[in-house]
Amino acid sequence: MSRFLSKRLQKLSVYTPGEQPKGAERFIKLNTNELPYPPAPAVRAAVTDAKLCDLRLYPDPTCSSLKGALAALYGTKASEVYLANGSDDVLYFAFLAYCQEAPAVFCDLTYGFYEVFADLVGSQKTVVPLKADYSVDVDALCAADGTVFLANPNAPTGLALPLSDVERIVSSKSDRVVVVDEAYVDFGGESALSLIKKYDNLLVVRTFSKSRAMAGARLGYAFACEELIADLERIRFSTNPYNINRLTLLLGEKTVQEEAYYRDCMHRIVTTREKTKQALEALGFSLTDSRANFLFATHNRVSAEDLYLALKARGILVRYFAGAKRAANHLRISVGSEEEMAEFIRVTEQILKEQL
């Protein structure tokens, strides 16, 4: 870093993304919760030469077409939809918008970017510990003052709160914003989307990265009352109104039209998740009841670090959170295809035989 960087930014602990190895095809990649299946055929066919040539033109800064498509799919108004360059951007803008005066409130074991964004915008932080069983302390979140950031299902635990608990948090204090990050909701969580008509302090954040096989295209979105959406648009139009490129907008629209294909992918992931969970339990692992497209697992005898390294040496990448206290000795394993998970179980069994 240079000597010119502001003191506050010098102290920032930056987010560490999961490894994206060069030649990723040589790995079974179970470390960043991507979908193992490709985008729907119609989505892939949308990238024509003509559309590539259109890249010389700026994209539509209002994103009206994709907003309309999402509104139609989810039964909202287009003015209740916000679009972003990945849901990380929605979250960042929410920190900018709602955490300058109010503290940011989030759990001690949750999506790592919340803490980074809080530090980036210079927000006070109120960190609410998960309970011993990794469940979210709903009463503590209701009682805390400040803007709440809740991943539901949570990451990396995979545990989900029922809608009634989310509503309890949202309704507990009407003078603060509650951001519900639903990156993984499609794999078995209960969405808070139905609550946006009832509460003007709720922002529901979603992404195309996980259940829509588009992590590389960077497309996030959010639902909320028109006033909250206008807040985020105010920031977007003060930074980069062209933040979603033409191809991503196009692919997003095509994706929305292929709901049946993606529902089938999600169903397959859930089936594979439960099968993998059972196989891991039989090998001596303890796991949470994940409602996401990943498993959170610890072994009763072999350390997470040893397993992570041995798996990597055999071409399988999983996520190990070195230094994260509450996640110490746990692995987060993305649910890949049926074949990938069968191979993962086979290799894990072999490693355990060698290490025990």
Ligand X SMILES: Cc1ncc(COP(=O)(O)O)c(C=O)c1O
Please report whether residue 243 would count as binding ligand X according to CB under 6 A.
no
Report if residue 111 touches ligand X, rule: CB under 6 A: yes
Task: Determine the interface stretch with ligand X among 80-88, 130-138, 313-321, 345-353 (rule: CB under 6 A).
Answer: 80-88
Residue 244 found at the interface with ligand X (CB under 6 A)? no
Nearest CB to ligand X, comparing residues 147 and 348 = 147
Pick between residue 183 and residue 195 the one whose CB is nearest to ligand X: 183
Contact 276, 42 (CB under 8 A): no
Amino acid at 192: A
How far is the C-alpha of 12 from the C-alpha of 295, rounded, in Å?
A: 30
Is position 181 an interface residue for ligand X (rule: CB under 6 A)?
Answer: yes
215 binds ligand X (CB under 6 A): yes
* Cross-strand bridge partners of residue 147: 104
Q: How many residues bind ligand X (CB under 6 A)?
A: 13
- Judging by beta carbons within 10 Å of its beta carbon (0-12, 13-18, 19+), is residue 163 exposed, middle or buried? middle
Give the CA distances from residue 117 to residues 14, 203, 327, in Å, rounded to whole numbers and listed in that order: 9, 17, 20
Which one among 123, 126, 201, 207 touches ligand X, defined by CB under 6 A?
207
Nearer to ligand X, 106 or 310 (CB): 106
CB 267 to ligand X: min, Å: 21
Do the strands 331-334 and 316-320 form a parallel or antiparallel pair, or are they unpaired?
antiparallel
Decide whether 296 or 302 has the Cβ nearer to ligand X: 296
**The Cα angle at residue 2 between residues 117 and 21, in degrees rounded to 5:** 60
Composition of the chain by helix, strand, coil, percent to 5: 45, 15, 40
Of 31, 147, 157, 209, which one interacts with ligand X (CB under 6 A)? 209
Can you give the binding site for ligand X, defined by CB under 6 A? 33, 86-88, 111, 151, 155, 181, 183, 207, 209, 215, 220
